[in-house]
Amino acid sequence: MKKLALGLLLAAPFLADAQSSLKPAIAQKADALKDKVIAWRRDFHEHPELGNQEVRTAGIVAAHLRSLGIEVQEKVGITGVVGILKGGKPGPVVALRADMDGLPVTERGDLPFKSKVVTEFNGQKTGVMHACGHDSHVAILMAVAEILASEKANLAGTVKFIFQPAEEGVYNDKGETILAGAELMVKEGVLENPKVDVIFGLHIASGSDNGVIEYKPGATMAAVDQLDIKVKGKQAHGASPWTGVDPIVISSQIVMGLQTIVSRSVNITEDPAIVTVGAIHSGIRQNIIPESSHMIGTIRTFGVEQRKLVHQRIKDIATNIAESGGGKADVNIGTGYPVTYNNPELVEKMLPTLQGVNGKDRVRTVPAHTGAEDFSFFQQKVPGFFFFLGARPDNKKADEVAGHHTPDFHLDEGHFQVGVKALSSLVVDYMDMALPKKKK
């Protein structure tokens, strides 16, 4: 991936100090759109939709793009919307992405635009909530589209606006992940026709300082995989355990054994890793040793080889422990999102743009996040830069705000225009950098 990205970057002669003359106009227009972005965000927040069900959201996005004279493609990756804006001058194709889906979370609090949507998910009745900030991502990118469309004649290249469904994943009736979101959009050719040269994206961060941009070159967010282990034992009376094979005891030993992967098998001086068992289901009565046990969990890694190592150690530990106890373990690992990898060369080239938008003291490097993002599927194909925009209320400390994916998740809307300026400026600066050098 790194070699491919470097080759693509070197294909265009960059000017390290290039700054587009459109930047002052972008800043002015972004500030003028502040209230409009907040209104869009509140509307989406009040009417959230789960992955691959974002029909209303997609309709609003598509209508907005068309009103700006942007070419629109609908139903890409089920409910995705793609807008193509061809500038007045030739140049590279720059993609921008926003995810649209909400989560099966019942919102608490008393916001006037609180979600009241209720649905059924995984066999249970639940509320639906934008508990990860995707509503703000959509609103921000709609504003970026409006600004860049107004500067169409001055753009030296093409902009592809990708409004993506199902970033949070989609699951079948058995709880298994199915092809969706960025992965499906890539498979359907969203990065082709015209071929994308580079992609940018942002994620709102409820726990970070309001209006501050955070980033990390290289591995930024973890690869995520799903752990599924079924242990087969032999049922027996709880009063005579020697007549059976206890899958609960075996499962307990497997859970403890899995902890040694990170502590003893992974070189944690290079990259962190996580193996978490999130649920164990077994048995039905206090005096019956059950026949089987089922455990599920999550795996987080930050490198290709590390990912292979952790997967193999999980299989070895589970199967060998089960065999030593007289049982059998069936291990399945479902492959999820790859590592979200910010191309270091691209980050270096575009960092001055972010600093110019927000000031050097409000653009900061951060450690890797153990959360995962399917933006990584785009980055597997083209160089990408994914960064974070803080939205923690100024009167709150980091440990006082609710986390993402929780019922009390809340954003401060005061600095959404920073995201609008950042994405718009990245586009025009990248296009200017790709122009041939002028001879002095």
Q: Any idea how long the chain is?
A: 440
Identify which of 430, 360, 424, 431 has the alpha carbon closest to the alpha carbon of residue 31.
Answer: 424
Residue 123: its pLDDT value, please?
A: 86
Q: Please identify every stretch of the chain with a pLDDT value under 50, giving residue numbers as ranges.
A: 1-17
Is residue 372 within 8 A of residue 334, CB to CB? The reply is no
Residue 5: its pLDDT value, please?
A: 40
As a whole number of angstroms, the distance between CA 68 and CA 220 comes to 34
- HSE at residue 149, side-chain half, CA atoms within 13 A, is 20
One-letter amino acid identity for 389? L
Residue 15: its pLDDT value, please?
A: 42
Q: Which stretches of 94-195 are DSSP H helices?
A: 134-150, 181-187
Residue 437: its pLDDT value, please?
A: 66
Residue 306: its pLDDT value, please?
A: 97
Q: How far apart are the first and last CA of the chain?
A: 36
**SS3 of residue 99 by DSSP:** strand
Can you say whether the dihedral through the CA atoms of 260, 168, 358, 384 is positive or negative? positive
As a whole number of angstroms, the distance between CA 258 and CA 229 comes to 12
Residue 18: its pLDDT value, please?
A: 57
Cite the active site residues.
Answer: 337, 413
Is residue 205 within 8 A of residue 393, CB to CB? The reply is no
Residue 21: its pLDDT value, please?
A: 92
Residue 175: its pLDDT value, please?
A: 72
- HSE at residue 100, side-chain half, CA atoms within 13 A, is 33
Residue 439: its pLDDT value, please?
A: 56
The pTM for the full model equals: 0.92
Is residue 385 within 8 A of residue 342, CB to CB? The reply is yes
